[in-house]
Amino acid sequence: MTLAQWMALFMLALFTPIEVASAGSGGNELSQRLGSGNPVAGKEKSDAGRCQECHGVDGNSGDTRIPNHAGQYAGYLAKQLSDFQAGARQHTVMSVMAEDLDAADIADIAAYFAAQKPMRGRDGIGNASARRLFVNGDASREIKPCAECHGKNGEGRVSGDGGTVYPVLGGQRKAYLRSQLVSWKLGERHNSPDGVMNEVAKRLNEDDIDALADYLSGLQPP
């Protein structure tokens, strides 16, 4: 999607939040991306030293350890916030930050970040062996292709039945990606459906993880 298209979608989201929310079922990429929240309310709710301070006003963080949310699927962001609240995912800062949010806050804040111009990596090139691993997997080590779930350019998607959201990885922050792959591998993070990411990450070695984090953080999904 071009920048102009995203701007148009964002304006649409700003001025017609109710229609966007009720556009509902199937096929509508924008409603899939934004979920049911109101991005205008979400802008205010995430302001005031709350979320934007770390995750950026436009959803791009200023620190490689802090994830970008720009253009991330709202359903994915909302799931993570509920998981932090429930203790299914743990992090010293985020477990506290998520504590006081109610369901409407979560939906609105997630919609606000989802509506931002999607995160973009620095160069879009990257290491060829990491690309091969991401796109094709490695059958000899029983590593599934990451791209099968996360999309060829790490652009993410929502499953056909709408139940699973595969997050955007292309253009995500490098140290953050690395830390998540390590914690999936060690089983410290264990909130993916059916433990799928633990299964994937435990087959990756340190070099794979470094190369994938470097590769993904450089991607520029179309």
Regarding 60 and contact with ligand HEC (CB under 6 A), the answer is no
Selected range binding ligand HEC among 2-10, 19-27, 119-127, 186-194, rule: CB under 6 A: 186-194
Asked if 118 touches ligand HEC (CB under 6 A), the answer is: no
Helices (H), the chain: 3-15, 17-23, 29-34, 39-45, 52-55, 74-86, 92-99, 103-114, 128-136, 146-150, 174-186, 196-201, 206-218
Taken as a whole, the chain contains a residue count of: 222
13 and 35 Cβ atoms separated by less than 8 Å: no
Q: Could you say whether residue 80 binds ligand HEC (CB under 6 A)? A: yes
The Cα 9–Cα 24 span in angstroms is 16
Written as six digits, the tokens of 212 are 């994938």
Asked if residue 74 binds ligand HEC (CB under 6 A), the reply is no
- Binder of ligand HEC out of 200, 217, 219, 221 (CB under 6 A): 200
Residue with tokens 């993410």: 156
Q: Which helix (H) or strand (E) holds 67?
A: none
Query: Under the criterion CB under 6 A, does residue 29 sit at the interface with ligand HEC?
Result: no
User: Quick one: 124 or 145, whose CB is closer to ligand HEC?
Assistant: 145
**3-state SS assignment for residue 123:** coil
Number of Cβ within 10 Å of residue 159's Cβ equals: 11
Closer residue to ligand HEC in complex, CB, 31/68: 68
54 binds ligand HEC (CB under 6 A): yes
Name which position in 37, 59, 167, 221 contacts ligand HEC (CB under 6 A): 167
Q: Tell the smallest beta-carbon distance from residue 154 to ligand HEC (Å).
A: 8
Beta partners for residue 143, in sequence order: 138
Near ligand HEC by CB under 6 A: residue from 40, 41, 97, 104:
97
What is the contact surface with ligand HEC in residues (CB under 6 A)?
Answer: 46, 50-51, 53-55, 65-67, 77, 79-81, 91, 93-94, 97, 109, 143-144, 146, 148-150, 164, 166-167, 169, 177, 179-181, 191-193, 196-197, 200, 204, 212
